[in-house]
Amino acid sequence: MASVVIRALVLAAALMIGGCGQAADPGTTTQETTVRTDPEPVTKRFPAFGDFTTARWLSGRIGDGDLGPSDVWMQGLVTLTPEVAKKARAQYTWTPADPQPEVKPQLTGSIPATGTWLLSEKYGEAAIPAGYSGDIYLREGTDLVLFDVTSS
């Protein structure tokens, strides 16, 4: 009798595991389509930006989250104060980004038509928080930065 119960439990467990369905494509990305302007999540993750004047950003999940925590992506535009921007330009070497970054369509209306994106790997290393990877760009001739990061 005990062996029948054990077999039934093993069979039930096998059916539950096998019946979980197919895993979602791990490359699935959810995208927040509403541009956010609340500064706190940006300030919390990027203290190097200081007291910036404006922020417009998007975020989303990478993966479906069914098999544990998902990575998160963030992309946004921040207008630094003139003082913070001047300090970033003076302390780091910036060169034209090659290739130029791909900015989410919801954010492109906030970018000046002139100028190119500049990149400083050292500034990125200093400004991107632990647990994230990506790049931070400075728009030539402006105080506008673009951050494009994912949690890792």
Whether the pTM exceeds 0.75: the reply is yes
| Residue 12 placed within a domain | no
Which pLDDT tens digit goes with each residue over 86-125? 999 999 999 999 999 999 999 999 999 999 999 999 999 9
| Residue 4 placed within a domain | no
pLDDT band at 71 (very low <50, low <70, confident <90, very high): confident
Q: Which helix (H) or strand (E) holds 51?
A: none
Distance CA 107, CA 77 (A): 7
| Residue 16 placed within a domain | no
Buried b (16+ CB within 10 A) or exposed e, 103-139: bbebbeeeeeeeeebbbbeebbeebbeeebebbbbbb
Q: How many domains does the chain have?
A: 1
**Domain membership of residue 116 as a residue range:** 24-151
| Residue 15 placed within a domain | no
